Amino acid sequence: MQMHPNKDTQLCMSLSARPGNFGLRFHNHLYEQLGLNFYYKAFSSRDLPGAIGGIRALGVRGCGVSMPFKEAAIALVDELDDSVQAIDSLNTIVNTDGHLKAYNTDYIAVEQLLKKHAVPKASTFALRGSGGMAKAVASALRDGGYANGVIVARNEAAGRALAQNLGYEWQADLGDLRPQMLVNVTPIGMTCGAEADALAFEADAVDTADTVFDVVAIPAETPLIVRGRAQGKRVITGLEVIAIQALEQFVLYTGVRPTQEQFEKAVAFARA
């Protein structure tokens, strides 16, 4: 059905430093297909307390939260789901009559994808990154039984803290390590970024790995994923992460879970 917003339309939104169109197109496509009186809009703001206050005051039903707000927003909500408490990073806020509860659907997405792609739990891995998304991915790895890992991060304080909290080692760079799984949770390879054409790991490390996992969603095929595919590796893409986390947000906001076919059509529409 075609959307006809009215005074009863429930607003959902995203909040990030650099808004994209994927979430907007994904959610609005499903609202229209399922006949739900919702509308989704992407926003950017430098006033995080003001933005979160606006969600509460204006009755915005849900908000997807991206970098750099995933940790700072925690102090501004009323309740934390277990997925947030475990890693001190949120990506979703649900507003129920002015009560704001935070979730982390990034964690849920990574957990599902590791199972879907049947990544062996005995795999050694190196995860590059130390921010909020890195916390979600590394925590999902730890909780999924992946015990033999190294956090690779230029920021020593953040990298060491993440590694120590989860029982891993820290290194400033990959060095001589050639693990079975490589996980990129940095902007390396992101379209329009400073390192858009760069590999997140050394080329020979990609060539000797079994699994390549890149959370960068734009482009869908980053230099790391392109090389991994060319070498016949098991690959997990950022598009898969962003799609599943958006699906779980949709369910939290609306209480409705689309069919697999509806989900796949929404992802295709969002990418177009």
How large is the angle between the packed helices 260-271 and 22-34, nearest 10 degrees? 140
List strands edge to edge, sheet with 38-43.
38-43, 10-15, 62-65, 92-96, 99-103, 79-80
Q: How many CA atoms lie within 13 A of 242 on its CB side?
A: 27
Count of all residues that appear for the chain in the document: 272
* Site of tokens 């509308």: 39
| Sheet of strand 211-214, all strands in order from the earlier edge strand to the far edge | 169-171, 149-152, 125-128, 181-184, 211-214, 234-236
SS3 for 69-91 is: CCCHHHHHCCEECHHHHCCCCCC
Contact between 239 and 217 (Cβ < 8 Å): yes
Identify the CA nearest to 186 among candidates 149, 223, 160.
223
CA distance 56 to 269: 30
Q: Does an H or E element contain 52, and which?
A: helix 48-58
Whether residue 233 lies in the annotated active site: no
Name the catalytic one among 7, 70, 115, 116: 70
Tell me which residues are annotated as active site: 70
